[in-house]
Amino acid sequence: MTTPVHGDHDPHHSAAPLKTPLYDAHVALGARMVPFAGYYMPVQYEGILAEHAHCRAAAGLFDVSHMGQATLRGADHATVAGALEKLVPADVLGLEPGRQRYSQLLNERGGILDDLMVHRAPGADGTLGLVVNAACKVADYAHIAARLPGDVLLEIHEERALLALQGPEAVNVLVSLGADVAGWDFMQVGPASLAGIPVFLSRSGYTGEDGFEISVHADTVVGLWQVLLRDPRVKPIGLGARDSLRLEGGLCLYGHDIDETTTPVEAGLLWSIQKRRREEGGFPGADIVRSQIAEGVARKRVGIKPDGRAPARDGTEIVDENGVAIGTVTSGGFGPTVGGPVAMGYVAAVHARPGTRVGLVVRGKALPAEIVSLPFVPARFHRAPK
Amino acid sequence: MTKYYTEEHEWIAVEGKVATLGITDYAQAQLGDVVFVEVPTVGRKVKKGEETAVVESVKAASEVYSPVTGTVVAANDPLANSPITVNEDPEGAGWFCRIEMSDPAELEVLMDEAAYKAFVEGL
């Protein structure tokens, strides 16, 4: 048998992997640790299928401390937002206090250098919080710092850890620990206290479920992790289930579904470019992105559902009904909630309509599959009534 | 019946000229939850070292190689509907296929149970 490979192989991180503050806690729980994005991370505890199902049914706890947390700081919101809008296509100026937005750092061709979350804390006038991908964070910080005006500073929060609590019971768990978050809207952010530990919460995540990301000082994260796991509704979830959850949720994984060669329009992320930015431009690659909006794109990210049981992995060739290559799978595997294989990839735009029949070339055979709408599992984000 | 093991974590159990092929308990634990199995069709000729079955976990696909040359005379088709059997009973009900060997001398280079156990402990 070929040696099983767990976690993504890590070609860009040849130095010894780092450890998050929770490394010992993961090992104590029996996690299988793998190098991922420059860190030793837990790929699974009891098993990916059980962890995936638990997160959809109750509450799953993730250590995502490898991700980058930073703050942009300047005189006022307009100054800081204006600086960031030079790098991303989201409407940052219009970001209300207490809200978060998803966006992308773009290159001059409109390609995606990284995707990130941007938040404005309640009452903040001159600071923006950023959360970026672990594998990209060093490059992101250099990219951002080199392009900021002199009156805006980038502060990197190496002292902070990040947890995610995801699933239908996540909100109840946090309420029981003293956080008044039941009425929070999806993408709302703010400070809170969990069992007396100060945290900064955002009602968001990477699973398609309702849930929260919890930024906490690295000195207190181990205690908070233990408090959360003491709740019988909570189980720890590894990177394996994180990947199957986000894939079923139709969410992009940087370096697979989006990268420097894909634009937000091709990737189906146009919803994250608000109207004013589409009209005004003023971000890297704006001419290309705006012409793609106006004239359409040559290829699009789509969902793909194989008819049979065989998963089609990242890199699988997609062919039309005549066997002609039309694209490539960028994420694929088994969807535990779907109960079968699921995939995402890019196809020529003429083949992107849901219902289009395609083939996935797995081990030399074109397996029948169909283009489908994303997500595979409906999102259950919590939208507060306006 | 004599059982042999490979360094790639396959086992074969030999009775007369027929060898039953599967993956070891160590292999299934490394793979994690198995979600897809493809076994060969009966009548297929396989060569030593040839990809004979496919086993996929949530995370990754792995090929299973036959340690012997011969003809597939039986396949465990029910695994397609219950791939988790490979996790639950890898060295029993989780077998992939039976191969009628054409060159039993190929068995001589394989490990016995004690040698395989020592090999795994050294990993």
- Among B residues 68-107, those touching chain A with beta carbons less than 8 Å apart: 80
Residue B122 lies in a domain: no
Query: Does the distance separating the beta carbons of B63 and A1 come in below 8 Å?
Result: yes
Residue B116 lies in a domain: no
A:B CB pairs within 8 Å: 71
Inter-CA distances, A327 with A261, A368, B80, Å: 14, 15, 28
**Which of B32, B38, B65 lies closest to A1 in CB terms?**
B65
Minimal-distance CA residue of chain B relative to A332? B59
Please give the residue that has the higher pLDDT: either A8 or A154.
Answer: A154
> Would you say A138 and A67 are in contact if contact means Cβ atoms under 8 Å apart?
no
B35/A contact by beta carbon, under 8 A: yes
Question: Mean pLDDT of all residues in chain B?
Answer: 96
> What would the mean pLDDT of A213-233 be, rounded to a whole number?
98
* Whether pLDDT at A8 is above 60: no
Query: Count of CB atoms within 10 A of residue A253's CB?
Result: 20
The interface pTM score, or ipTM, of the predicted complex is: 0.88
* CA atoms A11, A12, A15, A16: torsion sign: negative
* End-to-end CA separation in angstroms for chain B: 27
Query: Does the distance separating the beta carbons of A310 and B56 come in below 8 Å?
Result: yes
Burial grade of A72 (CB within 10 A; 0-12, 13-18, 19 or more):
buried
* Whether pLDDT at A10 is above 80: no
> Would you say B75 and B90 are in contact if contact means Cβ atoms under 8 Å apart?
no
- For residue A5, the chain B residues in CB contact (below 8 A) are 59-60
Residue B120 lies in a domain: no
- For residue B80, the chain A residues in CB contact (below 8 A) are 309
B58/A contact by beta carbon, under 8 A: yes
Question: Mean pLDDT of all residues in chain A?
Answer: 96
Q: Would you state the pLDDT for residue A114? A: 98
Identify from A1, A3, A49 which residue to disrupt to test chain B contact, counting B C-beta atoms within 10 A and taking the largest count. Answer: A1
What does A74-88 look like in DSSP terms, one character per residue?
Answer: -SSHHHHHHHHHTT-
The pTM of this model reads: 0.94
**For the segment A156-195, what is each residue's pLDDT rounded down to a tens digit?**
999 999 999 999 999 999 999 999 999 999 999 999 999 9
Q: Work out the percent of chain A whose per-residue pLDDT is above 90.
A: 95
**For the segment A227-258, what is each residue's pLDDT rounded down to a tens digit?**
999 999 999 999 999 999 999 999 999 999 99
Q: Would you state the pLDDT for residue A384? A: 86
- For residue A6, the chain B residues in CB contact (below 8 A) are 30, 32, 59-60
Residue B89 lies in a domain: yes
What does A316-351 look like in DSSP terms, one character per residue?
Answer: -EEE-TTS-EEEEEEEEEEETTTTEEEEEEEEEGGG
> Would you say B68 and B107 are in contact if contact means Cβ atoms under 8 Å apart?
yes
> What would the mean pLDDT of A370-374 be, rounded to a whole number?
98
Domain boundaries A298-372, corresponding CATH code: 2.40.30.110
Q: Would you state the pLDDT for residue A295? A: 97
Find tokens 């595997």 and name the residue: A333
Amino acid at A188: Q
- Among A residues 277-316, those touching chain B with beta carbons less than 8 Å apart: 309-311, 313
Find tokens 């779907």 and name the residue: A338
For residue B77, give the CATH number of its domain: 2.40.50.100
Query: Count of CB atoms within 10 A of residue A171's CB?
Result: 21
> What would the mean pLDDT of B84-90 be, rounded to a whole number?
97
Instruction: Band the pLDDT of B57: cuts 50, 70, 90.
Output: very high
> Would you say A55 and A209 are in contact if contact means Cβ atoms under 8 Å apart?
yes
d(CA A257, CA A303): 11
Q: Would you state the pLDDT for residue A5? A: 44
d(CA A192, CA A27): 29
User: The domain at A18-62+159-248 falls in which architecture?
Assistant: 2-Layer Sandwich (3.30)
Residue B21 lies in a domain: yes
- For residue A336, the chain B residues in CB contact (below 8 A) are 58
d(CA A203, CA A172): 13
* Whether pLDDT at A99 is above 90: yes
Instruction: Band the pLDDT of B1: cuts 50, 70, 90.
Output: confident
Residue B115 lies in a domain: no
> Would you say A87 and A146 are in contact if contact means Cβ atoms under 8 Å apart?
no
Q: Would you state the pLDDT for residue A69? A: 98
Assigned token pair, A290:
């705006």
* Whether pLDDT at A6 is above 80: no
Query: Does the distance separating the beta carbons of B64 and A333 come in below 8 Å?
Result: no
Q: What's the domain range around B90?
A: 2-104
* Whether pLDDT at A315 is above 60: yes
Among A295, A221, A242, which residue's Cα sits nearest to residue A60? Answer: A242
d(CA A197, CA A174): 12
Minimal-distance CA residue of chain B relative to A310? B36
* End-to-end CA separation in angstroms for chain A: 56
**For the segment A322-352, what is each residue's pLDDT rounded down to a tens digit?**
999 999 999 999 999 999 999 999 999 999 9
Minimal-distance CA residue of chain B relative to A239? B59
**For the segment A104-126, what is each residue's pLDDT rounded down to a tens digit?**
999 999 999 999 999 999 999 99
Structural domain boundaries in chain A? 18-62+159-248, 298-372
Q: How many domains does chain B have?
A: 1
Query: Does the distance separating the beta carbons of A5 and B54 come in below 8 Å?
Result: no
> What would the mean pLDDT of A132-147 be, rounded to a whole number?
98
* Whether pLDDT at A4 is above 70: no
Q: Would you state the pLDDT for residue A263? A: 98
